[in-house]
Amino acid sequence: MLYIVPTPIGNLEDITLRALRILKEVTVVLAEDTRTSRRLLDHYGITTHLRAFHAHNEHNVVERVVDELASGVDMALISDAGTPGISDPGFLLARACVAKGVRIECLPGATAFVPALVASGLPCDTFHFDGFLPHKKGRQTRLRFLAELPYTFVLYESPFRLVKCLDELIAVCGPERRACVARELSKLHEEITTTTLEALKLHYTQKDVKGEIVLVVAGKPD
């Protein structure tokens, strides 16, 4: 059995009782960064063996991991924060498990874009999640595609590139398009700001931006 287990995106209380039980019961916890995950497990007194499983090694180890799972070893997959597979390692392993008939259970739990989307006040009955944009090749093409969507879209962005991204969004969406920057979700300095793209650019140009960023942008008006 492979358990896909969401972990807190900031506040350590945002983990389910079921997730804690499974992390204690499995033989191995596959972790994106074992140092980060060890702090979480130590906080809850969990001593399960940690093994690295991340973007730089998953292609090399995925077959061995699936073979172990198929032989009867129970494992849990976690990322540094949120739900594995959502802009984090996890898809390759899930696909390989499905192909080999290994049972998967994905627990519900923390992920950054859902609270950002709901708290933004922008329409969320239909939305498009795009994760991180390409850094170079294809970036402008992707931005132009997103700008034409008639419904809300959601992006992840680095704090170091936030102002540049807002500037690029203004170029394709216009300065008055409504948008939200959600920063440091569930942490002490959580900030959720919904206004126009132009106002967001001005606001974040004047301050030192820190923390993980979720960008929520309204769809193209009729």
Q: Could you tell me the CATH number of the domain that includes residue 160?
A: 3.30.950.10
* Together in a domain, 117 and 66: no
Whether 148 contacts 189, CB under 8 Å: no
* Together in a domain, 137 and 183: yes
Q: Could you say which of 55, 81, 106 is where a domain stops?
A: 106
In a domain, 58, yes or no: yes
Number of domains in the chain: 2
* Together in a domain, 28 and 54: yes
* Together in a domain, 139 and 92: no
* Together in a domain, 190 and 153: yes
Per the structure, the complete domain to which residue 44 belongs is given by 2-106
Three-state SS at 215: strand
In a domain, 222, yes or no: no
* Together in a domain, 175 and 96: no
In a domain, 180, yes or no: yes
* Together in a domain, 18 and 50: yes
* Together in a domain, 27 and 92: yes
* Together in a domain, 28 and 10: yes
Q: What is the CATH number of the domain that holds 81?
A: 3.40.1010.10
Q: Could you say which of 71, 90, 106 is where a domain stops?
A: 106
Host H or E run for residue 192: strand 191-196
* Together in a domain, 166 and 186: yes
Q: What pLDDT does residue 87 have?
A: 87
Joined tokens for residue 91 = 């898809």
Rounded Cα–Cα distance for residues 45 and 39 (Å): 10
In a domain, 59, yes or no: yes
Host H or E run for residue 166: helix 162-173
Low-confidence ranges of the chain (pLDDT < 50): none
Rounded Cα–Cα distance for residues 179 and 169 (Å): 10
In a domain, 195, yes or no: yes
* Together in a domain, 66 and 25: yes
Q: What pLDDT does residue 104 have?
A: 98
Q: Could you say which of 56, 91, 106 is where a domain stops?
A: 106
In a domain, 128, yes or no: yes
| Tens of pLDDT, residues 146-183 | 999 999 999 999 999 999 999 999 999 999 999 999 99
Query: In terms of Cα–Cα distance, which of 91, 92, 37 is closest to 64?
Result: 92
In a domain, 88, yes or no: yes
* Together in a domain, 95 and 12: yes
Residue 15: which residues within 8 A CB-CB, separation 6 or more? 6, 7, 8, 40, 44, 109, 110
Q: Sign of the CA dihedral 122, 127, 131, 134?
A: negative
In a domain, 84, yes or no: yes
pTM: 0.91
Q: What pLDDT does residue 222 have?
A: 84
